[in-house]
Amino acid sequence: MCGFVGFTNKINDASIVLGKMMDRIRHRGPDSDGKYVDDKVAMGFRRLSIIDLSDVGSQPIFNEDKSMVLTFNGEIYNYKDLRNELLEAGHEFYTQTDSEVLIHGYEQWGEGLLNKLRGMFAFVIFDKNKNELFGARDFFGIKPLYYAQMGETLMWGSEIKSFLDHPHFKKELNTDVLETYLTFQYSPTSDTFFKGVCKLPAAHCFTYRNGRLDVRRYWEVKFDPDNGPELEEWVNRISETFKNSVNVHKFADVEVGSFLSSGVDSSYVAAVADVDKTFTVGFGEDEKYNEIGYAKEFSKYIHKDNFSEVITPEEYWGNLSKIQYHMDEPLADPAAIALFFVCRLASRQVKAVLSGEGADEIFGGYNIYHNPADMAAYFKIPRPIRKAVGAAAEKLPHKHGINYLIRGSKDLDERFIGNAYIFSEKERKALLKIKTGAPDAMAITKPFYDKVRDQDQVTQMQYIDLHLWMTGDILLKADKMSMAHSLELRVPFLDKEVMALAEKIPAKHRVTPENTKYAMRIAALKACPPQTANKKKLGFPVPIRVWLKEDKYYNIVKEKFTSPESEQFFNTDVLVGLLDDHRAGKYDYSRKIWTVFSFLIWYDVYFKENI
């Protein structure tokens, strides 16, 4: 696992600037570094050694005649097979790395290389003969790749913060993204919070030549349920395919550990992986927020050591600025902070960990996927009547029963934009003092819904989450929080072979009236005790809603909400009203409060402080 930066060379002191940009992401690769600079490009690399620990494996990596140069972040799990194929085709290798497979593979197959890969990756190759750049991001978006065109310069890298040191970079807030963030709790499109900076979407690649950037998709998720096999066969297929995925994800020349919460996903990973060490964090004594007791019992069950730590509220709140700095863009998921601490804990023992991200999206694990079945009876009421009832309900005070009527008045693409739906269009307009050109939420989700209109509603919801929530929230925090501690995080559920299997599983075996991830949970029983396979998902929960009612943390947030920075963007009386109503117990507004508060913390780091 590593990090890289680069830019088309239009400056005189390129090597010095490149060095500063590389220093910004030292945390991604503290073991070594490398540069390539000519009159066309400057490419820099920071290495975290996981495979081929010798310096020979350091990047940039070249082909035989050095006409191509590559920087790469990630792991290619089938690189040995590809290496043998390339050797047979006449290519010469000078390292044992997966990096070198990419550059020879691109020589041999061009863009066709991408669909041969099994792994997580972001890479950029410069072809000197064509004076052309080629870059790509993996199938699910596990590894990040950002780019910006500023004047005649194209810059790219693993983290946005590296761009800050380039003289052509203009730091400017993208207020359109701020507004969409208020609804999604993350930036859901390819645009970022920095105007002019984009993230390459998952399963996309690009070429850049003569000042022209061409971005295109190279792979698609395609749900195509097969109703032939019985449940037992699907369970056996999941068990075999997942075991294979875990085995290839364990490959490393360093020790690999595993995260462990109380849910089935991380438990299944830890049990199948047979690693020696598991890692868990919790908050306080309440079992709702502390999974350490379970993790220790489960680790004992699989005969492994568990390392755990209780995080105090003071530690949690005291690290928020550091966390938002590492995140690059504001993320309002409180679990990101918990992930920061479990990564810190694991990094003291190992250099790589396995984690359970992705299981919910591909096997149908979120409780909200019950929603279509739960509301089926209500949807038998004629649509105009439901619409009228919903319109009336929206004028009433917020209560759970009222929300049911509001949701019931809307079609799926109106009510579901992913696992987070923080501020509605109307609410965010009332909250914001500024005017933006932000699209509404349905404009963002529509291209994805359009691709799965012929599928059942559970599959549609999974498809939305796979392309928005998982990439924008789940995988963003997984990469940034692990890399903040120079820790490689691997996700065996997010494997091309596992996804190919999941695409075929009928919805009836994914979500049942009694459970979610149904077939996968049964498969997990082969490795885990029943109480684990059937346990409700928590996933390092955080007591934000409780803390916001305490004087100390209420006052911290209120001070931020009434600051001059807040007043630039928000009607602060609305913010304070949400905070006061939450404290008074009128309604749980913790997610709304945390969304705005997280942005303000991030804004201070990147626009108020001199970083």
pLDDT value for 408: 81
Asked if the model's pLDDT at residue 132 lies above 70, the reply is yes
E strands, 170-297, in order: 197-199, 204-209, 212-217, 256-259, 277-282
pLDDT value for 536: 63
Q: What is the mean pLDDT of residues 488-499?
A: 97
What are the C-alpha distances in Å from 197 to residues 6, 146, 154, 181? 14, 7, 10, 16
Smallest Cα–Cα separation from 425: which of 179, 187, 200? Answer: 179
Q: Which CATH number fits domain 231-365+461-533: 1.20.1090.10, 3.40.140.10, 3.40.50.11890, 3.40.50.620?
A: 3.40.50.620
Asked if the model's pLDDT at residue 47 lies above 90, the reply is no
Domain ranges of the chain: 2-217, 231-365+461-533, 543-611
Measure the CA angle with vertex 423, ends 422 and 426; round to 5°. Answer: 160
Asked if the model's pLDDT at residue 285 lies above 70, the reply is no
More reliable by pLDDT, 31 or 267:
267
Which region, left, alpha or beta, applies to residue 52 given φ > 0 means left and ψ of -120 to 50 means alpha?
left
pLDDT value for 383: 85
pLDDT value for 51: 55
Indicate which residues carry an active-site annotation. Answer: 2
- When the pLDDT of each residue in the chain is averaged and rounded to a whole number, the result is 93
Task: For the beta carbon of residue 168, count every other beta carbon within 10 angstroms.
Answer: 18
Cα 592 from chain centroid?
A: 20
More reliable by pLDDT, 578 or 538:
578
Smallest Cα–Cα separation from 174: which of 609, 608, 610, 599? Answer: 599
Tokens of 538: 């928590």
Q: Which range has the top average pLDDT, 41-50, 151-160, 387-396?
A: 151-160
pLDDT tens track for 384-409? 898 888 888 877 877 667 878 888 88
pLDDT band of residue 289 (cuts 50, 70, 90) is: low
- The answer to whether residues 268 and 527 touch, using CB atoms and an 8 Å cutoff, is yes
Asked if the model's pLDDT at residue 196 lies above 90, the reply is yes
Asked if the model's pLDDT at residue 537 lies above 80, the reply is no
Give the whole-number percent of the chain exceeding pLDDT 90.
81
Q: What is the mean pLDDT of residues 579-588?
A: 95
Asked if the model's pLDDT at residue 1 lies above 80, the reply is no
Q: Which CATH number fits domain 2-217: 3.60.20.10, 3.40.50.300, 2.40.37.10, 3.30.1480.10?
A: 3.60.20.10
pLDDT value for 501: 98
pLDDT band of residue 530 (cuts 50, 70, 90) is: confident
pLDDT value for 611: 77
Task: For the beta carbon of residue 86, count every other beta carbon within 10 angstroms.
Answer: 21
pLDDT band of residue 541 (cuts 50, 70, 90) is: low
Count Cβ neighbours within 10 Å for each residue of 402-411 and write b for 16 or more, e otherwise: beebbbbbee
Q: What is the mean pLDDT of residues 152-180?
A: 97
pLDDT value for 449: 98
Tell me the helices (H) and strands (E) count for the chain, helix number first: 27, 17
Q: What is the mean pLDDT of residues 274-296?
A: 83
User: The tokens 């085995």 sit on which residue?
Assistant: 247
pLDDT tens track for 335-357? 999 999 999 999 999 999 999 99
Instruction: Kindly report the backbone phi and psi dihedral angles of residue 383, in degrees, each rounded to the nearest multiple of 5, phi listed first.
Output: -55, -45
pLDDT band of residue 183 (cuts 50, 70, 90) is: very high
Measure the CA angle with vertex 218, ends 217 and 221; round to 5°. Answer: 90
Residues in the chain: 611
Contact partners, residue 89, CB within 8 Å, separation at least 6? 108
DSSP characters over 407-463: HHTS-HHHH-SSS---S-HHHHHHHBSS---PPPHHHHHHHHHHHTTTS-HHHHHHH
pLDDT tens track for 545-573? 999 999 999 999 999 999 999 999 999 99
Judging by DSSP bridges, how do beta strands 204-209 and 212-217 pair with one another? antiparallel
